[in-house]
Structure 1
Amino acid sequence: MKHQRRAVLHSVVAACLAAFCVSAPAEPSLLQPEEAFRVSARRVEPRVVEIDYIIASGYHLYRDRFSFKTDNPAVSVAGVELPPPLENFDKAMGQTMRYYAGRVTVRVRLAGANQTTKLVATAQGCAAVFGVCYPPMTTAFNVPAFDGRRG
């Protein structure tokens, strides 16, 4: 009888542990940079390209770590428009950091010849939930010469 109770008790404990393991939330894992920061670009005006960053929850891009350039000396970056950033004091850095979370759209104004070029965008972000920062992420976009007949 004593052995039967012990066997039943072990079965109940095993069942409870199994139920807990099934219902316990999985630990989040660190995303690859291209998953954490999805990026796309589109021309919105003859000389303006918008670069859209979709930022995964728990991640952010630093406002001061964006840079843009072209690979064509006849076409240059004339200006960059960024929306107002979020701000937070970072104890590890000892300063207030400006960043974007969720989504940010950057408008890049081009100047120079109406020629095909590559627009090279660089951004850097971190996984706040892990306290891990990624190396700068560079993405190149083909920007064809503007054809005034297209909208």
Structure 2
Amino acid sequence: MGLFTKDIKTMNDLFVHQLQDIYYAENQLVKALPKMASKASDPQLKQGFLTHLDETKTHVQRLEQVFKMHGVEAKAIDCPAIDGIIEEADEVAGEVADRAVLDAALINAAQAAEHYEIVRYGSLIAWAKQLGRNDCASVLQKTLDEEKATDRKLTSLAESAVNLRAAS
């Protein structure tokens, strides 16, 4: 189903569609993060990926909670955007021989995923509020806050150490 198909007629339809999209994305990231951690050589980066893996599993559970609260089945729909981000990360990681440069590339890939998630959760929260579902919005807000915190940590790690090593 395309984003602007006849299947999306109402704000509620759009909300559910995007819940299904981010549910797919979070589940794909549960699979991708251990691979990213195994490729990372920087100990903080490796640990950061593993910590975010645990958070991402919680994000999946929260989405299942929101589906239930909203009275719809927890179901994923393909998300070509996250598939592309993960595929690009795999390709770039396969092309980088220098471990320090690879760590910088992994941070970039992780931030691409984080920014995608930040956009999706921001819209979902706004739409939930518009639909009078402040209960759903508050659950989604917890995840948005964690995604933003992860992005800040990745930026800090890149700027304080990883990019410096990659450039030398």
Scaled by the length of structure 1, what TM-score is found?
A: 0.27
Which is richer in helix?
A: 2
Compare CA radii of gyration and give the structure with the larger one. 1
Higher relative contact order (CA 8 A, sep 6+): 2
Which is richer in strand?
A: 1
Scaled by the length of structure 2, what TM-score is found?
A: 0.25
